[in-house]
């Protein structure tokens, strides 16, 4: 679509079959970020490779905006329902942009609570930097799962981090919905050469200042 900036897609994939190298309860892993993780829930495995993915995007790719998207928690469907994905981010403007992009394209999004100073203690471990699953499943587990991923970039990281949990809206019965494709195109379309994506995107372009003829459209594209 003629994207004007450096854009990378990092696919965090792993085989989930049982084998001699399978993760076991009480294992301690050293993740790519250098942080250690005690395994207290082998079903919370996706966040381990997502944490490596965002750390790779930060350390190796030098990204200043990192968006991770995954079918991370069953609790997302309880928190925001079947039709709205959940968004967690360290930037209020990007939270608003995700919501607006979802409304523009039909891939709906609703914010989760972002409060690492209160919630990250759910991962406290006596033998590692953190555990991989929460101590209390009644304490906003979808937010906490996102915070686990963010911790491998660092909560003091100066860039923009966006986490989108799409567990419920990606399927309807036994079929996939394709959720997420339109959301990403809408969210980042303002930095493409596609006029339709420019129109629906809540994000402005990083190019030259708009001309007088383009001023009204550029106001429409800026973050709201």
Q: What's the N-to-C CA distance of the chain in angstroms?
A: 23
pLDDT value, residue 211: 45
pLDDT value, residue 204: 65
pLDDT tens for the chain, residues 1 to 224 = 888 788 999 999 987 788 888 889 999 999 999 999 999 999 999 999 999 999 999 999 999 999 999 999 999 999 999 999 999 999 999 999 999 999 999 999 999 999 999 999 999 999 999 999 999 999 999 999 999 999 999 999 999 999 999 999 999 999 999 999 999 999 999 999 999 999 999 986 443 334 444 444 444 344 43
With a CB cutoff of 8 Å and minimum separation 6, the contacts of 203 are 97, 101, 187, 188, 189, 190, 191, 221, 222, 223
- Domain 33-100+109-182 fold: Aminopeptidase (3.40.630)
Alpha carbons 127 and 209: distance in angstroms, whole number: 53
Alpha carbons 172 and 111: distance in angstroms, whole number: 22
Closest CA to 101 of 92, 91, 110: 110
pLDDT value, residue 216: 44
pLDDT value, residue 221: 41
DSSP-based three-state secondary structure for 90:
coil
Alpha carbons 171 and 86: distance in angstroms, whole number: 15
Q: For the stretch 14-48, what's the b/e string if a residue is b when 16 or more beta carbons lie within 10 angstroms of its beta carbon?
A: eeeeeeeeebeeeeeeebbbebebbbbeeebbbbb
């Amino acid at each position: 679509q003629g994207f004007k900036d450096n854009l990378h897609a990092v696919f965090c994939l792993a085989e989930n079959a049982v084998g001699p190298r399978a993760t076991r309860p009480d294992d301690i892993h050293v993740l790519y970020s250098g942080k250690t993780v005690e395994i207290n829930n082998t079903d919370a495995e996706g966040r381990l490779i997502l944490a490596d993915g965002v750390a790779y995007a930060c350390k190796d790719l030098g990204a200043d905006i990192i968006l991770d998207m995954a079918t991370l928690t069953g609790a997302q469907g309880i928190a925001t329902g079947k039709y709205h994905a959940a968004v967690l981010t360290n930037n209020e403007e990007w939270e608003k942009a995700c919501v607006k992009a979802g409304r523009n394209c039909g891939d709906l999004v609703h914010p989760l609570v972002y409060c690492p100073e209160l919630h990250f203690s759910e991962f406290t471990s006596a033998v590692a930097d953190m555990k991989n699953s929460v101590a209390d499943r009644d304490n906003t587990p979808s937010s906490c799962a996102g915070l686990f991923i963010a911790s491998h970039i660092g909560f003091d990281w100066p860039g923009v981090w966006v986490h989108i949990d799409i567990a419920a809206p990606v399927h309807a019965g036994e079929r996939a919905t394709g959720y997420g494709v339109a959301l990403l195109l809408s969210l980042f379309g303002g930095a493409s050469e596609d006029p339709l994506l420019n129109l629906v995107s809540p994000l402005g372009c990083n190019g030259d200042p708009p001309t007088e003829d383009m001023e009204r459209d550029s106001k429409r594209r800026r973050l709201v």
